[in-house]
Structure 1
Amino acid sequence: MTLAKVIVMYKESILDPQGEAVKNALLRLDHKEVKDVRMGKYFEIQLAESVDPEAEIEKMCQELLANVTMESYRYELVDEVQQ
Structure 2
Amino acid sequence: MAKTQLNVRVDEGTARAARERALARGMSVNRYIEELVRKDTGEVGHTFVDAAADFMKQYESVFAEEFGAEHEGRR
- The question of a shared fold, defined as TM-score above 0.5 by the shorter chain, is answered with no
TM-score w.r.t. structure 2 length? 0.22
> If each structure's helix is expressed as a fraction of its own residues, which one has the higher value?
2
Higher-strand-fraction structure: 1
Greater relative contact order structure (CA < 8 Å, 6+ sep): 1
